[in-house]
Chains A and B, each alone.
Chain A
Amino acid sequence: MSQIHDGPVRANGSPPREITGCPVVHFDVAPQRESGFYWEQSKRLRDQAPILFNTLAQGFWVFTSYDGVREMYQRTDLFSTESVTAWNPEPHFSWLPLGVDPPEHASFRRLMNPWFSPAAVRRNADEQRRICRRYIEELVPSGRCDAVAEFAIRYPTEVFLGLMNLPAEDTEMLVQVVEDFFLGYSGAAPELAGSAYARIKEYFGTSLAERRARPRDPEFDILTYLVQATVAPNGEPARPLTEDELLDLCFMLVVAGLDTTRAQIGWMLYHFATHPEDRRRVLDDPALVVTAVEEVLRYYTIIYGDGRKVTRDEEYQGCPLKKGDMVYGMTSAANRDRRYTDPDLFVLDRKPTPNLAFAAGPHRCLGAHLARSELQVALEEWLRAIPDFHVDTDEPLVERGAQLSLTSLPLAWPVDRTPR
């Protein structure tokens, strides 16, 4: 990260313009780095200023405080989701409902909420545990694994397919497509994002066509439900969703739901592999799982930041925002705001605090209840089967940027080899 003060900054296309009201910096958000790099960077930015301007790409404003990031999420009149990628104001992908601002947003969101409500997640809890346990029990005898590739990616993907009433056999295919998409999205292999987008849409296009031809019970089958549902955005008369809307909804579920849980489970296992004292406390008192997961979500915030597009010229906290500017709310910095006691410490039994791991405002993470449940189940089941484990490499671990994720996590544990 370097300070740049010489000369005007090119922001929001041409002409170059002078940025006033905050420090101007240049920092990366996406390339692969040694693990921990990005959170160290967001701590430094947090300590530097609540608002900065990053000259990366076309240039964008950066909010680092809890209050600033929360306001970015809540004030959809000023901060639009027309683009959610700060370094890409003209997105190639349509996210639904995320990409639609209120009030139209609610008509799409309302369709999805019941499928991911606490009650729906609870109905699915035994299935989550069964799938989770099966993956872990397969790993136990070998005494080692890559916890990312062999567990963290597969478990939530198979849970997702079950919730969508799609075949569990599609797990490997979906794992690969989502990997490709995020390799592309984070800039490691840009050419992969577009083809992954097309493959996800093709997969759901086929599934939706099958539901149209042979409807299932819409009370239990989300795709049949969506095919038959109607929306009335902008007060229009109620109409069915278009094929593009249906595919954008499905695309959003896949890219928002799978890579995130995979990343979070990876960091959670990393924490407990490297902090045996915390591991022992949870083993002694399983009730700590709830606060432990909350603290994992706060401390290891995988959403490095979220982008929004400014809707009008406005002086904001002394900074001259212009219509079309991008803003990057650093969720990872906000969750380590000085408002927390010892923000840079992982406190296993921290009294629950509000945090922005699942964003805020109308676009609050649809899958938050599911993600919490999956994380709790993963921690309980992992510790039950593998109570003692450690990181099994001398090489530094590597993290992918943008949506912070360990690329691999080699773990090892003692195996009981006494003959039975």
Chain B
Amino acid sequence: MSARLAVSGERCTGHGRCYTLATTGWLSPDDEGYVEVKGSAVAVPEGREAEAWDAVSVCPEAAITITEDESGSS
């Protein structure tokens, strides 16, 4: 079972709290300061599930959701 972190393209406004305060190196900003995965999803690296949930909780826009992907496919 793996987790996926999704960022809403509508809600994300580029606060950058997910990539600066919650996670270590696996989320990064694009040229405008939005998280690169805005509008899509990314697999949460093995062992970083707690960071992923921190990203959810520090987002002022409630733009981030996590889904547990049981089949392993997306």
Cβ of A119: which chain B residues have Cβ within 8 Å of it?
A: 29, 31
Contact assessment for B13 and A117 in the assembled complex, using a CB-CB cutoff below 8 Å: no
Contact assessment for B32 and A355 in the assembled complex, using a CB-CB cutoff below 8 Å: no
Q: Mark B16-29, 1 if CB is under 8 A from A, else 0.
A: 11011110000001
Contact assessment for B29 and A354 in the assembled complex, using a CB-CB cutoff below 8 Å: no
Closest B-chain residue to A353, C-beta based? B58
B57 partner, pick from A353, A362, A364, beta carbons under 8 A? A353
Contact assessment for B60 and A113 in the assembled complex, using a CB-CB cutoff below 8 Å: no
Contact assessment for A360 and B58 in the assembled complex, using a CB-CB cutoff below 8 Å: no
**Given that A117-B32, A354-B60, A369-B33 are contacting pairs, would A364 and B21 also be in contact in the complex, using a CB cutoff of 8 Å?**
no
B68 is an interface residue with CB less than 8 A from chain A: no
B13 partner, pick from A114, A352, A364, beta carbons under 8 A? A364
Contact assessment for A116 and B60 in the assembled complex, using a CB-CB cutoff below 8 Å: no
Contact assessment for B16 and A368 in the assembled complex, using a CB-CB cutoff below 8 Å: yes
Cβ of A362: which chain B residues have Cβ within 8 Å of it?
A: 13
Contact assessment for B16 and A354 in the assembled complex, using a CB-CB cutoff below 8 Å: no
Query: How far is it, in angstroms, between the C-alpha of A354 and the C-alpha of B13 when the chains are bound?
Result: 13
Chain A interface category by residue count = 20 to 34
From B11, B31, B33, name the one whose CB has the most chain A CB atoms within 10 angstroms.
Answer: B33
Q: Separation in Å of the A107 CB from the closest CB of chain B?
A: 13
Closest B-chain residue to A368, C-beta based? B15
B22 partner, pick from A74, A352, A356, beta carbons under 8 A? A352
From B11, B30, B57, B61, name the one whose CB has the most chain A CB atoms within 10 angstroms.
Answer: B61
A203 is an interface residue with CB less than 8 A from chain B: no
Cβ of B29: which chain A residues have Cβ within 8 Å of it?
A: 117-119
A231 is an interface residue with CB less than 8 A from chain B: no
Contact assessment for B21 and A290 in the assembled complex, using a CB-CB cutoff below 8 Å: yes
Cβ of A369: which chain B residues have Cβ within 8 Å of it?
A: 16, 33
Contact assessment for A70 and B60 in the assembled complex, using a CB-CB cutoff below 8 Å: yes
Closest B-chain residue to A352, C-beta based? B21
Contact assessment for B31 and A364 in the assembled complex, using a CB-CB cutoff below 8 Å: no
**Given that A119-B31, A360-B13 are contacting pairs, would A355 and B21 also be in contact in the complex, using a CB cutoff of 8 Å?**
no
Query: How far is it, in angstroms, between the C-alpha of A239 and the C-alpha of B37 when the chains are bound?
Result: 31
Nearest 3 Cβ contacts at the A-B interface: A113-B32, A354-B60, A352-B21
